[in-house]
Amino acid sequence: MCVSDGYLERIFMSPAAVRAGNLIREWMEDAGIISVVSALKVLCINGKLGELKRPVEVIAFSDEEGVRFQSTFIGSAAVAGILPVSALQITDKSGVTIQDAVKKKSIEVTEEHLQQLRYDSKSVWIHVEQGPVLEWVGFPLGVVKGIAGQTRLKVTMRGSQGPAGTVPMSMRHDPMAAAAEAIVLLESLCKHPQDFLSFDGQCKSYSLDLAKCK
């Protein structure tokens, strides 16, 4: 139970949700161990590091999936030089900003520091796949060309109240029904994007009309 934005939230975790959470934590522990061991293995190449033209550095990111601050790829964006200074003011549910969190670790982050963090060199990111694709195709590993970006939106469905027995169905505005239709529409878009998007990734005209009707 927690208080958020002036409202009391009560969260009930089903047994299935608890098992899923425990499984994800195990995956994350394995992924972290593999990443650390792989980095240490690179640093332990006998007699080779001195021959490299560039130094080798190991960087550990935290909260890349946005669990605490609901903002993904914070560390990656920082070293890529695309993290805006305004991101330092993003808060968690307790009201702690990113800037405050890193300051507790004796790290003072300013706009100048963010600019200095930018890395122009190449990097390798080793990760355990948290999905079934590699196992399904029978490959032991895969080399990716990019990562899936994440966008998190809060959408409010507004409706109107009315007596259940006297308001005709044609005059009702049920937000729950609208939310259900929106969920089905988004699922169809993700499974069959070619039916909704043009070749340049923009929504087709009838897709926009369909969304407006919903």
Domain count across the chain:
3
Asked if residue 162 belongs to a domain, the reply is no
Nearest-angstrom CA–CA distance, 175 and 181: 10
**Whose CA is closest to 30, among 130, 157, 172?**
130
Asked if residue 68 belongs to a domain, the reply is yes
The answer on 136 and 38 residing in a single domain is yes
pLDDT for residue 190: 81
* DSSP structural state of residue 197: B
pLDDT for residue 7: 46
The answer on 32 and 2 residing in a single domain is yes
The answer on 87 and 192 residing in a single domain is no
Residue by residue, pLDDT tens for the chain (214 residues) are 444 455 444 555 667 667 766 766 666 555 566 777 777 777 776 566 667 777 777 777 777 777 788 777 787 788 888 888 888 888 888 899 888 888 887 777 777 777 777 777 677 777 777 778 888 889 988 888 776 666 777 888 899 888 888 989 889 889 898 889 888 888 888 888 777 776 666 666 656 566 555 4
The answer on 185 and 206 residing in a single domain is yes
The answer on 95 and 52 residing in a single domain is no
What is the separation, in whole angstroms, between the first and last Cα of the chain?
34
Q: Is 90 exposed, middle or buried (0-12, 13-18, 19+ CB in 10 A)?
A: middle
What residues make up the domain containing 208? 169-213
The answer on 20 and 109 residing in a single domain is no
**pTM, whole model, 2 decimals?**
0.50
Nearest-angstrom CA–CA distance, 79 and 102: 15
The answer on 196 and 184 residing in a single domain is yes
pLDDT for residue 3: 44
pLDDT for residue 21: 66
pLDDT for residue 88: 85
